[in-house]
Amino acid sequence: MSVLFISDLHLQAKRPDLTAAFAQFLIEQAPQAESLYILGDLFDAWLGDDAMDDLQQTVASQIRQLINSGTAVYFMHGNRDFLIGEDFAAQTGVQLLKDPCVITLGDQPVLLSHGDQLCTADKDYMAFRHYIRNPATIQKLLSLSVAERIAMAENIRNQSQAANQAKTDEIMDVTPAEVEKLMTEHDVKCFIHGHTHRPAIHTLTINQQPAQRIVLGDWDKKGWMLHWDESAGFSLTDFPL
């Protein structure tokens, strides 16, 4: 059994290199795995299943081809593409996951999350997340025209980039106490997430037992993937784009 995990590709028209790298990944690495887990921010922005652009349509078709070849694909929403819905799932064949959720690898329960909900020191972001993820807000957003959604997304992106420049690294990282709390609640010794763009395998102690937190890398100057199989366990690797 072989499983792959990726996150934070931020696919967008301005970065054709990322789209090409993902297409190559789907042809070369992904078919070797039984399952592929995408833990959020596959796309840099998602304005609704009814507003897919040419790039997103192409990626959706490529994912469908992978699934048709025999690799199951699971998708968890990120902070950039939380509006991905059932229509996208039906078009591609991906299985949507709740955030957080627990899967089983071998005989080990493993907790999965995008990770942004654990950045509790970033009070401004947490307040925005609470507002933007409200079902009433989502319904209002999807009622706007596609042109209005594009303009709103651009405005939010500009404001976010300006605000983030003034934030420290600690504020934008996950809060250790929240990680411990979540892992304890779900009674797991392994936690995989993305969002922070700080790929690493951290050792920690949960319920007085050794545990690990694995952070997936973002695709920018290079790509990242986490591989698991029953004999070797976890391997976090990068590769050129």
pTM of the predicted structure, to 2 decimals: 0.96
126 found inside a domain: no
Strands of 190-193's sheet in order across: 101-105, 108-113, 190-193, 209-215, 200-206
Number of domains in the chain: 1
Q: Hey, what amino acid is at 74?
A: Y
- Calculate mean pLDDT across residues 55-78: 98
What percentage of the chain carries pLDDT values higher than 90?
90
Say whether 121 sits in a helix, a strand or coil: coil
Sequence letter at residue 14: K
Query: What is the tens place of the pLDDT at every residue in 153-190?
Result: 888 888 888 777 777 877 889 999 999 999 999 999 99
- Domain assignment present for residue 144? The answer is no
pLDDT of the residue at 68:
98
Is residue 134 situated within a structural domain? Answer: no
Residue 135 lies in a domain: no
Residue 107 lies in a domain: yes
Answer yes or no: is pLDDT of 59 > 80.
Answer: yes
Reported as half-sphere exposure (CB side, CA atoms, 13 A), residue 80 has a value of 19
Q: Which residues are annotated as a binding site for Mn(2+)?
A: 8, 10, 41, 79, 114, 195, 197
CATH of the domain at 51: 3.60.21.10
Residue 41: which pLDDT band, with cuts at 50, 70 and 90?
A: very high
Q: Is 53 among the domain residues?
A: yes
Give the domain range for residue 110: 2-121+172-240
How far apart are alpha carbons 101 and 103 in whole angstroms?
7
Report pLDDT digits (tens) over 189-232.
999 999 999 999 999 999 899 999 999 999 999 999 999 999 99
Residue 150 within a domain: no
Average pLDDT over residues 113-117: 98
Residues in binding site = 8, 10, 41, 79-80, 114, 122, 160, 164, 167, 195, 197
Binding-site residues for substrate, in ranges, read: 79-80, 122, 160, 164, 167, 195
Does position 146 have pLDDT exceeding 80, yes or no? yes
Q: Which of 55, 53, 64 is nearest to 91 (CA)?
A: 64
For residue 22, is it within any domain? yes
The strands making up 222-229's β-sheet, listed across from edge to edge, are 95-97, 72-76, 35-38, 2-6, 222-229, 233-240
Residue 118's nearest CA partner among 39, 6, 46, 42 is: 39
| H or E element that contains 175 | none
